[in-house]
Every structure is written in structure tokens, then in C-alpha cells.
Amino acid sequence: MDPEATQEIEELKRRNQQLGLDVERLLTQDQLTGLMVRSAFIGHVDRWLGTLKGKGVQSALIEIGIKGMPRLNALMGRDVGDYVISALASRLNQLVDGDRICCRLDHWSFAVFVPRVADALEALTIAKRTILALGEPVEWVDRKIPVEVAAGVALAGTTERDAQTLLIQAGMALRSTAEKGGPGYSFFNPALEKAAKRKQDVQTALQEALDHQYFELHFQPYFQVTTGELQGFEALIRLRHPQLGSVSPGEFIPVAEETGLITRIGAWALVEACRTAANWPPHLLVSVNFSPEQFMSGNLLTDVHNALEVTSFPPTRLEVEITESTMLGDTDVVLSQLTALREMGCAIVMDDFGTGYSSLSYLWKFPFSKLKIDRSFIQAMDSRPQVKGMLKSIIDLAKNLGLKVTAEGIETQKQAELLKFQRCDYIQGYLCGRPVPASELAAIIMTKFAETLRNVPEPVEEPQAKAASASDLRFEF
């Protein structure tokens, strides 16, 4: 063969070989960090588990999540975010030794597989050492970028598991860590799997509830504390599903917020609350709770306009209740919407006052009309004397700012008397009435509520503690 032709053939073979290596690298190696990609990692882990099968050896898979990366990318740019991920991958590579392998699972998470661990304690030690090392700030030009890391750990060896199952279980443990807030680590346990299954069932139930109208509103009354007159009702959403039965708002609302369904649910609840309240005497108000996600959706003002228009309900009878968490997001976005609602005539209410860390600063920044003292203060009032002083300070502060005050969770006549003495404006709780469906409201509204508190003697000094009995509860429905 012609030497020149032979040389060309050899060059072609070399190029094809190099092309094959490049293709394999693309399929197995992450281009940003150089770490193994998810699919290649799963293959390696499965081969390890097959090798160790039946030998009584425990293995650990650790999933590592980097928090706050979307926000970092938004604030400083994708290039900076990529630099941080690359720096963390380099640290992870330095930590991995011996038979251990690591990979980049997705944009903001890594995984480490440790083929042999003596016990759960060793796996825990490795996870702790890993998040401490990755959690050190990353230097960028002339500044240090803080990094927050969490980990979830799954163990293999006591039962047969494959790589995909271990990843799912480590991911569940990681999400459990994230829900607790802050850095840390969690082990997978069967309860997490059960909770994940329940969460999925609730998510499905929410979609079905929207499609088939399984939601309903209950309404809890609140009263003017000095006269006993009915002031209005708070609308509280309920879910009764054909298969799951009654699902508490404390369970389904966080799922609705996480999945984005809360915007549709909130819009439905607003229309239904206004439709119901439109049939009440015109002096009665209705309070509706709004989720932080509704303010971020961009649809809130449209939803409120639509609800008021289709029900012919006056905005001056609508109270918009928000919690402090609403104001922890984009302050300007929230403030502009609250201001627009206030200009429409709606009242703005801060709910659960006293449970957050920054409530005082929000009272003068946002257009509130009223604040609601959280029930935890009322529950602690009898057992902790200092709470009475705190309640008085909160009420005095509100008065100085021109705000009305509602106390939630009133269960005894003694509590009602004390709040009347402290010049609270309104009270709400089981003493006044439990939440009831709309079908039961007519009987409550027709009752002469003005007589219910007139029998309470006007306190001339702070009421003394006494045992409450059924005869003390003067609210009759």
C-alpha cells in the first residue's frame, strides 16, 4: 500500500478515536465541573452495589444541595453562579478519595457515593465534613460569596437497593433538611417516604378539588369587644376529598403554595367569600387570607377586581389578611399591590402579629388598617403574667399608629374581660363562635349579638384570675 495512503488511514483512525473519546466525555462528564454526570454516576453505583451484594457491607449515598443559587444568578449573573459551582466541585473532588465517587446531579446539587461505611455514624461524619468544607465562602474578585449547603443521606446494605432508589431516598432526606431551614443533614427513614407519598396524594387531591369543587368556605365571627356587636366573619377554606376525607389547611396550603395551585385556590376563595358576604347586612365585613405567592403571581389585583365585580361586593367591606412572610419577599412589589388595594377601599390586616421577627418595622411602612394578635399570646396569658404586659404594649402601639386590633383565639370569658380592659377593639375565637359553613350563617346573624357582651361588667381594674365554667360563656347561638 502507498505509504501516503497508509498515513492517511492512520490519521483517520486517530481522529475517529479522538472523536470517540470526546463523545464519551460528553456523555459521562459534566462540561462545567468535570465531574461525572448523573447517568454515568448511576451506572457506577449500580456496579458497586452488585459487587458488594450479599457481603454484609453498608454503603452510603449523600446528596448535597446548594441553596440560594437562583437568587445569586439573578443578582450577580450566571457567570458568577457557574464560578461558584465550579469552585464547590473542585472542593468536592479534593474530599473524595479511595473508592468514593462523586457527580454533579443537576444545576445546584452534587452526590457522593461511599461504597463502604462501618455504620450510620461514619456516614454522618462524612456528610458533616462535606457540608462544612463546601459551606465555606467562595472568593470572587474582591469579595467573598457566602454558601449554604445541606445534605441528605441514604444507606444501602441492610436491604437490597439500586442507585436510583438511593438517589430518591437521599433526595427525600435532603428536602427534609431544607424544610427545617438552615444548613444541616438528615438521614432517610421510612417516615420520609410515607410523608412524600402523602404529599403527592394531597397535591393530586388539590387539583381534583379545583376541578370538582371539593373546597368549601367556613366563616368564623368576630365581635366589637365593648358592645358585643357582630363586626364580620373571617373566611376559612376547607377541603373534604372523597378518598382522603377532611384535609387540614395546615397540610394542604403549604402544598398548594409549593405547587403554585394556591393562586387558583385563592382566587376561588375570594370570589366565594364575596359572593356569600354580599347576602349579609351591609355593615358586616368579610376577611380573606392572601398567600405570599398570590402577591408574586402578578394576578392578585386582577383577581380582586374580578371578585368584586362578579359579586357586586363593595371593596369597603373586604379585609385583606396577610402574614409577615408576605412582606419578606419583594417589598416594593407587595407594597405597590397593598397600596392599590387600600386605594380601592379594602382594609389591610396584618395577621398573626407577634410571631415574626420584624413586624414592628412593617407597621409604619405598609398601609395597614388593623393587626390581629396571634392566638399564642392569648393561650399564654393565664400562665405567664408578663404576657399581659406585652398584650397591653401591642395594643397601645397599634392605637398610637391609628390601627384597630383583633385578638384571636379567645376561649374564656376571663380572656374577653381582660382584653376589654386593655382596650382591644375586636375578639375572635371559640368563645364567640366556631367556624361554620355558609348555610349556618343566617341563624348567627339574626341572633342579637349586641346582648352577648353587655352582661360583662365594665372592668374598673384588671380582672382577677378565676376558673371559667360553662355558665361563664355568654355567647348563645
Residue 208's nearest CA partner among 165, 275, 265, 155 is 265
CATH fold for domain 199-472: TIM Barrel (3.20.20)
- How do beta strands 138-140 and 143-145 pair? antiparallel
- Coil, helix or strand at residue 245: strand
pLDDT of 476 reads 37
pLDDT of 1 reads 52
Residue 259's nearest CA partner among 199, 326, 190 is 199
pLDDT of 102 reads 93
Pairwise CA distance, residues 264 & 245, whole Å: 21
Residue 85's nearest CA partner among 40, 23, 140 is 140
CA distances to 8, 75, 140, 263 from 79, rounded to whole Å, are 42, 11, 11, 33
Residue 435's nearest CA partner among 222, 166, 269, 219 is 219
pLDDT of 477 reads 32
pLDDT of 166 reads 93
Pairwise CA distance, residues 324 & 339, whole Å: 16
Per-residue pLDDT tens over the stretch 20-55: 444 455 568 898 999 999 999 999 999 999 888 888
- CB-based contacts of 164: which residues, under 8 Å, 6+ apart? 42
Q: Which of 178-192, 350-364, 449-463 has the lowest mean pLDDT?
A: 449-463
Q: Per-residue pLDDT averaged across 159-187, rounded?
A: 83
- Model pTM? 0.72
Residue 102's nearest CA partner among 160, 31, 29 is 29
Cα–Cα–Cα angle for 215, 476, 442, nearest 5°?
45
Pairwise CA distance, residues 313 & 315, whole Å: 6
* CATH no. for 28-188: 3.30.70.270
Q: Per-residue pLDDT averaged across 314-332, rounded?
A: 88
Q: Per-residue pLDDT averaged across 221-241, rounded?
A: 93
Q: Per-residue pLDDT averaged across 469-474, rounded?
A: 38
Catalytic residue among 63, 319, 321, 408: 408
Q: What percent of the chain has pLDDT over 70?
A: 86
Q: Per-residue pLDDT averaged across 413-434, rounded?
A: 91
**CA atoms within 13 Å, Cβ hemisphere of 200:** 7
Residue 425, pLDDT above cutoff 90: yes
Per-residue pLDDT tens over the stretch 181-220: 666 888 888 888 888 889 999 999 999 999 999 999 999 9
Inter-axis angle of helices 3-28 and 38-52, nearest 10: 80
Q: Concatenated DSSP letters for 443-462?
A: HHHHS-GGGTTTTS---SSP
Q: Which of 125-139, 268-282, 368-382, 442-456 has the lowest mean pLDDT?
A: 442-456
φ, ψ for residue 234 (rounded to 5)?
Answer: -95, 130
- CB-based contacts of 46: which residues, under 8 Å, 6+ apart? 162, 163
- Coil, helix or strand at residue 52: helix
- CB-based contacts of 461: which residues, under 8 Å, 6+ apart? 421
Per-residue pLDDT tens over the stretch 67-125: 888 888 888 888 999 999 999 999 999 888 888 999 999 888 999 999 999 998 999 99
What sign results for the dihedral spanned by CA atoms 383, 386, 388, 394? negative
Pairwise CA distance, residues 166 & 193, whole Å: 12
Burial of 143 (0-12, 13-18, 19+ CB in 10 A): exposed
Residue 18, pLDDT above cutoff 60: no
pLDDT of 338 reads 94
pLDDT of 193 reads 82
What sign results for the dihedral spanned by CA atoms 126, 127, 132, 135? positive
**CA atoms within 13 Å, Cβ hemisphere of 78:** 2
Q: Beta partners for 247?
A: 239
C-beta atoms surrounding 221 within 10 Å:
25
Pairwise CA distance, residues 295 & 308, whole Å: 18
Q: Between these two residues, 29 and 470, which has the higher pLDDT value?
A: 29
C-alpha of 89 from chain center? 29
What sign results for the dihedral spanned by CA atoms 288, 248, 244, 259? positive
- Coil, helix or strand at residue 93: helix
Mean pLDDT, the chain, rounded, equals 85
Per-residue pLDDT tens over the stretch 258-298: 899 999 999 999 999 999 999 999 999 999 999 999 998 88
Q: Which of 39-43, 359-363, 384-388 has the lowest mean pLDDT?
A: 359-363
pLDDT of 16 reads 53
Residue 342, pLDDT above cutoff 70: yes
160 is catalytic: no
φ, ψ for residue 251 (rounded to 5)?
Answer: -95, -45
pLDDT of 355 reads 72
What would the grid cell of residue 226 be?
365593648
Q: What percent of the chain has pLDDT over 90?
A: 55
Per-residue pLDDT tens over the stretch 395-409: 999 999 999 999 999
Q: Concatenated DSSP letters for 401-429?
A: TT-EEEE----SHHHHHHHHHTT--EEES
Domain boundaries, the chain: 28-188, 199-472
